């Protein structure tokens, strides 16, 4: 009975792994049929006896589940958009350019979900069940702004009706429950705001984990250069003749380069000059970064002074100075960094990593400086608002009727002001990106194409020629844009919707631009082995954008007149209130116990210990891995040498041989200097290149229990150290006699 | 779903879904592609398992394969007779192995078969030379070709017989970071 059950299980497993078997299709179909018949026949038989109905029910449910999962998978694949477009791009440009578009599509999916959450749980209830526009002060455009509220220029800057709409934080009412269903809007707002981060975090980590498995375990860079070049350099996705030609040329070049590398000796470099140049380059770049941070701070302060003065007679430039300066910095600095980096003379892949790191530091620095400058202003205004609040309350007690008119004349909600600035920045960033593509790629391509007829040198082959698609720049831009969206989503619910639109248009626009104006890359360097480099960057950006939001939730007390948390001391008081009033008493008790420091400290301690333990475990595995590699290497070399009838080049084996009975009576021969530290695959004269064994050192961890050298005494007692890698592994060798 | 298609029975479609990495819609689409290669030869009704094979010349003209230097070897590796004549089953099998969802080990097996030009289950020097010449369109000098093949064998050969067995090849290719992304055809 048991055996039968096992057989059924086995057959089921065979069916599940059928597609992974390297069999001919016919054989698979035959095996599938057999296995399915077997399972059906005997599953019925197993169901005899007690629990037969239950077993039959379980089996039926399992079958339904499989069918449901399959239908769902089919549905999901059918829903994936833009498959044709991406395939087109792939066949023309190869897999690395297409990876950007695949990343863009993934972002679009993520943003759709976030938008769904925000819209369904926050915006829709407020629109449907909340108080309509105009009923309370925070939802109305103030009297003095009303004449211009519908102007396009004002709307474009998110003032006017836009500012007082559901797109921004200020519109939401702080009533505890709204509408018929008693929907708790403030609570929902807070939870959705936090949930957005939680969901994004989960999705990013899940994707990273999935990619990590594909990355291939870490073989050394130099181990398989030629083999990998030979077997993995052709991109099977290429379907376009031009691209194929390009690829042939680049593969040939790459082989020639590797051959030259192998045959050349190490260049006699002036190390000091190189180091000095690198230090100089880094110094220049750091001063650039510092300068750009200071410039932004200065410009933000200036714009606040402009805002204090009369609004009407400011030029467009002065009004949008901040965005203009930030976009300019984002455009000018990366090429500048690249030029400075020429001093450093790194291998292209390493240079690419440095470049990406520096661009990252630039964007991050700019963004945080911008935020700090704004926060400074916010704090200053909050101070003044506090004094207004005290006097207002006094007035409120005295003149109830004048309450609403008083509000119409004061500057409400500083946070709203900050958020509007932020949103303007994001929008201008998007505009600049699109403009850059238009000018940098399209106009350039058009001029090269048409001016070529009447120009003295060949514009297409020489300068400026057609542009290549800048993968890393675009991916970074996308990541930073997402970071800004995450930062702003809590205070401007409409921002996520805006981002969905942006990603959608980006997809079509960039697909068109790349097919129309770009040429395939001449040389392809990936920044990392798997896509995890960019995912890791995204994760970092997620955490960094979480910080300001958490800070404001925890420390800033909300304005007392706008937003869903007005009236509370701190924003998270909404949650406390709900726990106290709506949930049964014992849950409140549980929370009080759980947030007791006496409980939290041991929990944190436990997590730290777990981290330490897992770290030690992983180090242990890595060491075991290295040992295994060494063993394989040694075995391989031994085989080779045996076939070539050479003496062993392995130090350990040599020492072992020396320790053999008759040899040990003679003094040890003076060896030629065989330094075990030769780089693997180091260049030697001539075509025959032999890899030196660099791993010949004995196991450094174990103590050497006896020194090598000539020994006295009868051969019978001369028990050498244990065979195998690493001498003295058995602690405490044979005792001396 | 209820798409009333008459090309395959439902059991056939389910069986294909179990044996390949494709969904129902993709299998039907693949049949469309197979059919349009030779509309007069390929029947629209596959419910009776017709015995129809398309020759190599038709298949390597597909846009996905046309520019691939190894297209002949790819089709030959998946054909039962070794001459490149593919039935629909083998056609689906080929694209299933080359699809995104196939695991590394499976791809390594077929990659080995593809690069084994003389079909002796070893990648000997001649195989490597042919591979290299196809990759570079014979732009390298004979000495350079010799050097590269020699180095490749040295790097990957574990048992020291001067040619690459499947174990050697697999050990080398599964660590390659680019293998999965380049050994991929999207259909």
Convert the pLDDT of each residue in B82-92 to its tens digit. 898 999 999 99
pLDDT of residue A663: 55
Whether the predicted pLDDT of A173 surpasses 80: no
A contacts of B18 (beta carbons < 8 Å): 15, 18-19, 32
Q: Which residue has the higher pLDDT, A315 or A688?
A: A315
Question: Which homologous superfamily is B10-98 in?
Answer: EF-hand (1.10.238.10)
Q: Is B91 exposed, middle or buried (0-12, 13-18, 19+ CB in 10 A)?
A: buried
pLDDT class of A98 with cuts at 50, 70, 90? confident
Residue B45 contacts A where some CB pair is shorter than 8 Å: no
Residue A573 contacts B where some CB pair is shorter than 8 Å: no
pLDDT tens-place string over residues A469-526: 888 788 888 888 898 889 888 888 888 988 999 999 999 999 998 888 888 776 665 5
Give the residue-averaged pLDDT of A213-225.
60
Q: Which candidate from B18, B19, B151 shows the least CB-CB separation from A226?
A: B151
Tokens linked to A734: 């044979």
Give the residue-averaged pLDDT of A276-296.
91
Give the residue-averaged pLDDT of A174-178.
71
Distance from CA of A233 to the nearest CA of B (A): 7
pLDDT class of A684 with cuts at 50, 70, 90? very low
Reported as type and span, the H/E element at residue A292 is helix A271-308
pLDDT of residue A665: 54
Helix, strand, coil distribution of chain A in percent, nearest 5:
70, 0, 30
Distance from CA of B29 to the nearest CA of A (A): 12
Q: Do A529 and B177 touch (CB under 8 A)?
A: yes
pLDDT tens-place string over residues B12-54: 999 999 999 999 999 999 999 999 999 999 999 899 888 899 9
Q: Which candidate from A74, A215, A237 shows the least CB-CB separation from B24?
A: A74
Give the residue-averaged pLDDT of A342-370.
80
Give the residue-averaged pLDDT of A124-150.
71
pLDDT of residue A679: 40
Tokens linked to B28: 């039907």
Residues of chain B where predicted confidence (pLDDT) is lower than 70: 1-3
Whether the predicted pLDDT of A410 surpasses 50: no
Residue A72 contacts B where some CB pair is shorter than 8 Å: no
Distance from CA of B39 to the nearest CA of A (A): 23
Most confident range, picked from A347-351, A653-657, B158-162: B158-162
Whether the predicted pLDDT of A381 surpasses 80: no
Distance from CA of B11 to the nearest CA of A (A): 10
Tokens linked to A60: 């039926």
pLDDT cut 70: percent of chain A above it: 71
pLDDT class of A528 with cuts at 50, 70, 90? low
Give the residue-averaged pLDDT of A697-725.
43
pLDDT of residue A126: 79
Whether the predicted pLDDT of A29 surpasses 70: yes
Whether the predicted pLDDT of A160 surpasses 70: no
Which candidate in B46, B132, B170, B176 is best for mutational testing of the A interface (most A CBs within 10 A)? B176
Q: Which residues contact A620 (CB under 8 A, 6 or more apart)?
A: none
Q: Which residue has the higher pLDDT, A85 or A533?
A: A85
User: To which residue do tokens 């080995």 refer?
Assistant: B112
Rounded Cα distance, A693 and B150, in Å: 18
Whether the predicted pLDDT of A97 surpasses 60: yes
Q: What is the dihedral of CA A684, A685, A690, A691, to 10 degrees?
A: 10
Q: Do B172 and A228 touch (CB under 8 A)?
A: yes
Most confident range, picked from A72-76, A116-120, A258-262: A116-120
pLDDT class of A729 with cuts at 50, 70, 90? very low
Range name among A143-147, A269-273, A353-357 with the lowest pLDDT average: A143-147
Q: Which CATH architecture has domain B104-182?
A: Orthogonal Bundle (1.10)
Rounded Cα distance, B94 and B110, in Å: 9
The DSSP-derived string for A168-207 is SGGGS---SSBTTTTB-HHHHHHHHHHHHHHHHHHHHHHH
Residues 90 through 109 of chain A touching chain B, CB cutoff 8 Å: 90-91, 95, 99
Spatial contact of A467 and A444, defined as CB atoms under 8 Å apart: yes
The single-letter DSSP state of residue A439 is I
B contacts of A530 (beta carbons < 8 Å): 177
pLDDT class of A731 with cuts at 50, 70, 90? very low
Range name among A465-469, A604-608, A716-720 with the lowest pLDDT average: A716-720
Numbered ranges of CATH 1.10.238.10 in chain B: 10-98, 104-182
Q: Which residue has the higher pLDDT, A220 or A345?
A: A345
B contacts of A232 (beta carbons < 8 Å): 173, 176, 178-179, 182-183
Q: Which residue has the higher pLDDT, A524 or A456?
A: A456
Three-class secondary structure of residue A85 per DSSP: helix
Give the residue-averaged pLDDT of A32-57.
77
Q: Which residue has the higher pLDDT, B66 or A310?
A: B66
pLDDT tens-place string over residues A3-18: 888 888 888 899 889 8
Spatial contact of B72 and B82, defined as CB atoms under 8 Å apart: no
Whether the predicted pLDDT of A432 surpasses 70: yes
Q: Do A77 and B26 touch (CB under 8 A)?
A: yes
Distance from CA of B157 to the nearest CA of A (A): 8
Give the start-to-end residue ranges of the domains of chain A.
Answer: 1-79, 83-269+345-628
pLDDT of residue A161: 66
Residue B117 contacts A where some CB pair is shorter than 8 Å: no
pLDDT tens-place string over residues A685-703: 333 333 333 333 444 444 4
Range name among A220-234, A249-263, A717-731 with the lowest pLDDT average: A717-731
Spatial contact of A237 and A98, defined as CB atoms under 8 Å apart: yes
pTM given for the model: 0.71
């Amino acid at each position: 009975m048991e055996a039968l059950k096992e057989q059924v299980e086995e057959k089921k497993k065979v069916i599940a792994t059928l597609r992974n078997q390297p069999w001919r299709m016919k054989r698979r179909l035959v095996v599938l049929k057999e296995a399915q018949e077997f399972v059906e026949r005997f599953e019925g038989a197993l169901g005899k006896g007690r629990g037969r109905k239950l077993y039959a029910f379980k089996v039926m449910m399992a079958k339904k589940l499989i069918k449901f999962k399959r239908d769902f998978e089919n549905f999901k694949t059918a829903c994936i958009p833009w498959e044709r477009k991406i395939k087109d791009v792939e066949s023309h440009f190869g897999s690395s350019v297409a990876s950007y578009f695949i990343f863009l599509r993934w972002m679009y999916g993520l943003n759709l979900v976030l938008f769904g959450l925000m819209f369904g749980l926050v915006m829709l209830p407020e629109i449907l069940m909340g108080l309509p526009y105009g009923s309370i002060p925070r939802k109305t455009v103030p009297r003095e702004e009303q004449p211009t509220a519908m102007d396009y220029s004002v709307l474009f800057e998110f003032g006017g009706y836009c500012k007082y709409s559901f797109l921004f934080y200020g519109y939401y009412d702080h009533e505890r429950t709204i509408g018929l269903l008693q929907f708790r809007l403030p609570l929902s707002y807070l939870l959705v705001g936090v949930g957005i981060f939680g969901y994004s975090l989960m999705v990013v980590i899940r994707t990273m984990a999935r990619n990590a498995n594909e990355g291939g375990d870490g073989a050394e860079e130099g181990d398989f250069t030629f083999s990998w070049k030979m077997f993995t350099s052709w991109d099977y996705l290429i379907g376009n003749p031009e691209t194929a030609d390009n690829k042939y040329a680049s593969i040939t070049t790459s082989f020639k380069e590797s051959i030259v590398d192998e045959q050349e000796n190490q260049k006699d470099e002036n190390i000091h000059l190189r180091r000095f140049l690198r230090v100089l380059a880094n110094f220049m770049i750091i001063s650039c970064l510092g300068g750009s941070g200071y410039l932004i701070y200065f410009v933000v302060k200036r714009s606040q002074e402009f805002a204090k003065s009369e609004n009407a007679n400011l030029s467009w430039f002065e009004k949008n100075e901040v965005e203009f300066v930030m976009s300019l910095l984002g455009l000018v600095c990366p090429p500048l960094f690249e030029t400075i980096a020429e001093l450093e003379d790194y291998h292209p892949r390493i240079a690419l990593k440095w470049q990406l790191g520096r661009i990252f530091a630039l964007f991050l620095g700019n963004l945080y400086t911008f935020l700090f400058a704004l926060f400074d202003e916010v704090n200053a205004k909050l101070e003044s608002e506090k004094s207004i609040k005290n006097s207002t309350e006094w007035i409120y007690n005295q003149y109830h009727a004048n309450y609403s008119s008083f509000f119409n004349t004061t500057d409400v909600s500083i946070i709203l002001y900050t958020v509007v600035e932020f949103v303007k920045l994001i929008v201008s960033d998007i505009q600049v990106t699109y403009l850059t593509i238009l000018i940098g790629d399209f106009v350039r391509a058009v001029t090269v194409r048409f001016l070529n007829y009447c120009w003295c040198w060949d514009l297409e082959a020489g300068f400026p020629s057609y542009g290549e698609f800048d993968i890393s720049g675009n991916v970074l831009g996308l990541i930073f844009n997402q970071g800004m969206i995450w930062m702003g989503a809590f205070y401007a619910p409409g921002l996520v919707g805006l981002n969905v639109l942006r990603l959608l248009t980006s997809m079509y626009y960039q697909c068109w631009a790349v097919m129309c104006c770009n040429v395939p890359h001449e040389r392809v360097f990936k920044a990392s082995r798997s896509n995890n480099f960019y995912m890791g960057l995204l994760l970092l950006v997620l955490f960094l954008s979480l910080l300001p939001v958490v800070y404001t939730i925890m420390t800033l007390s909300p304005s007392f007149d706008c937003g869903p948390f007005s009236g509370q001391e701190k924003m998270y008081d909404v949650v406390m209130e709900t726990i106290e009033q709506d949930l049964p008493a014992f849950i409140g008790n549980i929370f009080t116990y759980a947030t007791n420091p006496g409980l939290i400290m041991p929990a944190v301690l436990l997590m730290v210990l777990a981290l330490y333990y897992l770290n030690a475990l992983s180090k242990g595995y890595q060491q075991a891995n290295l040992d295994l590699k060494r063993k394989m290497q040694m075995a391989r070399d031994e085989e080779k040498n045996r076939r070539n009838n050479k003496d062993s080049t392995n130090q350990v084996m040599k020492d072992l041989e020396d320790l053999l009975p008759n040899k040990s009576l003679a003094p040890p021969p003076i060896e030629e200097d065989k330094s075990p530290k030769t780089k693997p695959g180091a260049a030697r004269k001539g075509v025959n290149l032999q890899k030196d064994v660099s791993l010949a050192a004995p196991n450094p961890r174990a103590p050497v229990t006896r020194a090598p050298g000539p020994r006295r005494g009868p051969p019978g007692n001369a028990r050498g150290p244990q065979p195998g890698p690493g001498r003295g592994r058995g602690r405490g060798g044979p005792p001396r006699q | 779903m209820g798409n009333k298609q008459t090309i395959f029975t439902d059991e056939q479609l389910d069986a294909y879904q179990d044996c390949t990495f494709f969904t129902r819609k993709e299998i039907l689409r693949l049949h469309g592609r197979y059919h349009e290669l030779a509309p007069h030869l390929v029947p629209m009704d596959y419910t009776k398992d017709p015995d129809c094979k398309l020759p190599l010349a038709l298949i390597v003209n597909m846009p996905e394969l046309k520019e691939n230097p190894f297209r002949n070897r790819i089709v030959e590796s998946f054909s039962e007779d070794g001459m490149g004549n593919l039935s629909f089953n083998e056609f689906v099998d080929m694209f299933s192995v080359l699809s995104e969802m196939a695991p590394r080990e499976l791809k390594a097996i077929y990659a080995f078969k593809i690069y084994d030009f003389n079909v002796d289950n070893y990648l000997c020097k001649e195989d490597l030379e042919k591979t290299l010449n196809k990759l570079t369109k014979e732009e390298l000098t004979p000495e350079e070709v010799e050097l590269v093949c020699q180095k490749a064998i040295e790097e990957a050969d574990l048992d020291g017989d001067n040619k690459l067995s499947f174990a050697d090849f697999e050990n080398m290719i599964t660590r390659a970071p680019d293998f999965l992304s380049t050994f991929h055809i999207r259909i």
